[in-house]
Structure 1
Amino acid sequence: MNSNAQTAARLSVAPMMDWTDRHCRYLHRLLSQRALLYTEMVTAPALVRGRALHLLDYNVEEHPLALQLGGSDPIELAQAAQLGAQAGYDEINLNCGCPSDRVQSGAFGAVLMQSPDLVADCVAQMRAKVDVEVTVKCRIGVDEQEPREILPVFLQKIRAAGCQRVTIHARKAWLKGLSPKENRDIPPLDYGLVHEMKREFGDLHISLNGGVNSLDEVVSQLEQGLDGVMVGRAAYHQPADILAAADARIFGGEAVRDPFEVVMQMLPYIETQMGQGARLHQITRHMLGLFSGRPGARAWRRILSEGAHRPEAGPELVQEALAQVTRQLAAG
């Protein structure tokens, strides 16, 4: 197990609800051995009160791997963090950035930007219970807050509580008036403020999140002095573009992964998972963007999208889709 999540955080794939499940993470790990992967957000009440410990399941190959928790009760979060640490996660991350309605009604996620003292207490309680690193993912502010005023206060308080690594989504969240989807696009990005925070809090490991769509942009942000970059939707929709060359370009040295080989490596995984009750489409939905922008990408998507839901569908459908890509590539 690689427990050095801090090194891995030079490039991470954002926690995304309904997307970064264990099948998605297994695929991403085949593309990059080094990037830091995150679970979808798991709520502390689900683990502690609901005992839904199956939410912590993962494949050992997924390390380095961080568990993202949602919640606002310091004691409950500490208990949930303990369960995550016992399950072997390399990092426990507290969500202070998600603007969904569900999160607002539970008074956590981006709502926590309004309560830096509470967040500091959550971090302190979690750190007291686990040996692995406790990190925070936040916004630059919410609603009418002035980011230049609130963000330094927020960072100061969590740093004093022992948080040494933070990922900043460089947009405000509007809790009133914008949907979660709009909150990912409409509020303007302020990369400059994140860079300012890095200069002001030199000892904090600061990663930038929001609007990063290519590996070139990741490299550029790192060269400008940030410690890490977290990529969200681009890593999901064009996984090979972001992750296949990441180990070579971001971490220095290893070979670039070939999406064809990655598909071949997914086949035994698909067989094993289907043997344990998974349906093909639950796995292949994460693979649809694997050939994005390359010859055969459309045929690959079509065959998997149309066929993977069928009850009899299995690994041979993936092989059929791959054969189409190979044919189109050969046809030039």
Structure 2
Amino acid sequence: MNNYLVSKAYSASRLSVAPMMDWTDRNCRRFHRMMSRRALLYTEMVTAPAIVHGDRPRLLDLDAAEHPVALQLGGSDPAELREATRIAADWGYDEINLNCGCPSDRVQSGAFGAVLMKTPQLVADCVTAMQAVSPAEVTVKCRIGVDDQQADEVLPAFIDTMREAGIRRIMIHARKAWLQGLNPRENREIPPLDYPLVHAMKAQFPDMHLSVNGGIASLEQARDHLQVMDGTMIGRAAYHEPWNILGAADRLWGDAPPFDDPLDVARAMRPIIVDHLGNGGRLHQFTRHMLGLFHGRPGARSWKRTLSEGASKGGIEVFDAGLEQVAQPA
């Protein structure tokens, strides 16, 4: 195993941005990286069959500027996950993560995601197969349990099985997933958070690197969790309020942030967007991820409205018009 890749992702996971379907694509990650040099970024979940049989460059291509970045895989067939991991190795991701937490119907029908909490030995077989061909560290993201499982029994047993399989880093979403009766959005909000249980896992498994995910909405909350946990993972708050989460994130490592103001971030993104447009890209492919950049600041609504209304058809002039809305003196 490549120790440089392991240590790079290991350190970066002090704060990570959760993998989110339809959101954390390569353009989103390029934008998030502009605000934090240190946070660990994740791809959207990519299924193993898609990589084995599909358009690999479209699914796996990334910009060198995105590092440290992890690839999240979905699947439940050890041989298929092994092959997908072997293929992905050529792209140089800093971590390969197996999804054992997504509760969507599509994931359940494929017998992977959160439903894998019911078959920890199958997960162990999967990660063992992945580790055999991966130059990067293989990790697992899970829930505390599913449906009527007793979380305080299931979660430690799951972690112990992962440890026996050679896994040393796990991200735990501190909610159960209800596979029947709740849709994915409801599964992010309705099942109660059980931070004490996740914190207890760190005490029970001091040799494991454990991160907590779910309901963390600010850097202050992340700092509180880091008093106990090795890492924190933030999802929707990092997407909807990217500056509020990532603008000062590097201070968690004792580093100065790359920028002091979100306006400077937007200006730094401009040449990247111009290059994207010059290569045939569309403005909204970047700006849809940037709508919350000025959340809570003067001009934020006008920025968001300008980009939302014009980005699907316009070019860089729409972006510049949005910048004018937030660059006005208070």
TM-score (norm 2): 0.96
Instruction: Tell me the residue number matched to 2:196.
Output: 192
Instruction: Tell me the residue number matched to 1:78.
Output: 82
Larger deviation: 266-275 or 116-125? 266-275
Summarize deviations over 1:149-196 as a string: whole Å, max 9, x none: 111111011111111000000000000000011000000000000001
Q: Distance in 1 between matches of 2:257 and 2:293?
A: 18
Residue 322 of structure 2 is aligned to residue 321 of structure 1: yes
Q: Secondary structure at the match of 2:46?
A: strand
Residue 174 of structure 2 is aligned to residue 170 of structure 1: yes
Q: Secondary structure at the match of 1:16?
A: coil
- Residue 73 of structure 1, CA deviation: 0.3
- Residue 309 of structure 1, CA deviation: 1.0
Residues 247-326 of structure 1 mapped to structure 2, 5 A cutoff: 247-248=250-251, 250-255=252-257, 257=259, 258-310=261-313, 313-326=314-327
Q: Distance in 2 between matches of 1:77 and 1:274?
A: 35
- Residue 256 of structure 1, CA deviation: 5.6
Match of 1:246 among 236, 246, 249: 249
Match of 1:35 among 39, 45, 50: 39
Tell me the amino acid that sits aligned with residue 83 of structure 2. Answer: Q
Tell me the amino acid that sits aligned with residue 251 of structure 1. Answer: W
Instruction: Tell me the residue number matched to 1:120.
Output: 124
- Residue 274 of structure 1, CA deviation: 1.6
Tell me the amino acid that sits aligned with residue 257 of structure 2. Answer: A
- Residue 51 of structure 1, CA deviation: 4.7
- Residue 254 of structure 1, CA deviation: 1.6
Tell me the amino acid that sits aligned with residue 322 of structure 1. Answer: L
Mapped contact 1:246–1:256 kept (Cα < 8 A)? no
Residues 58-137 of structure 1 mapped to structure 2, 5 A cutoff: 58-137=62-141
- Residue 259 of structure 1, CA deviation: 1.1
Tell me the amino acid that sits aligned with residue 206 of structure 1. Answer: L
Q: Distance in 2 between matches of 1:112 and 1:275?
A: 43
Identity %: 61
Q: Which runs of 5+ in 2 are unaligned?
A: none
Q: Secondary structure at the match of 2:255?
A: coil
- Residue 253 of structure 1, CA deviation: 2.2
Summarize deviations over 1:203-246 as a string: whole Å, max 9, x none: 110000000000000111102x2000000000000000000001
Mapped contact 1:47–1:53 kept (Cα < 8 A)? no
Summarize deviations over 1:235-279 as a string: whole Å, max 9, x none: 00000000000112x110223622111111111111111222211
Q: Distance in 2 between matches of 1:218 and 1:302?
A: 30
Q: Which runs of 5+ in 1 are unaligned?
A: none
Instruction: Tell me the residue number matched to 2:236.
Output: 233
Tell me the amino acid that sits aligned with residue 254 of structure 2. Answer: G
Q: Distance in 2 between matches of 1:180 and 1:255?
A: 34
Q: Secondary structure at the match of 1:302?
A: helix
Mapped contact 2:36–2:257 kept (Cα < 8 A)? no
Q: Distance in 2 between matches of 1:208 and 1:276?
A: 39
Instruction: Tell me the residue number matched to 1:148.
Output: 152
Instruction: Tell me the residue number matched to 1:221.
Output: 225
- Residue 52 of structure 1, CA deviation: 3.5
Instruction: Tell me the residue number matched to 1:10.
Output: 14
Q: Secondary structure at the match of 1:129?
A: coil
- Residue 17 of structure 1, CA deviation: 0.1
Larger deviation: 73-82 or 162-171? 73-82
Alignment RMSD: 1.0
Tell me the amino acid that sits aligned with residue 325 of structure 2. Answer: Q
Larger deviation: 74-83 or 183-192? 74-83
Q: Distance in 1 between matches of 2:115 and 2:9?
A: 27
Instruction: Tell me the residue number matched to 1:46.
Output: 50
Q: Secondary structure at the match of 2:132?
A: helix
Q: Secondary structure at the match of 1:68?
A: strand
Q: Distance in 2 between matches of 1:93 and 1:255?
A: 27
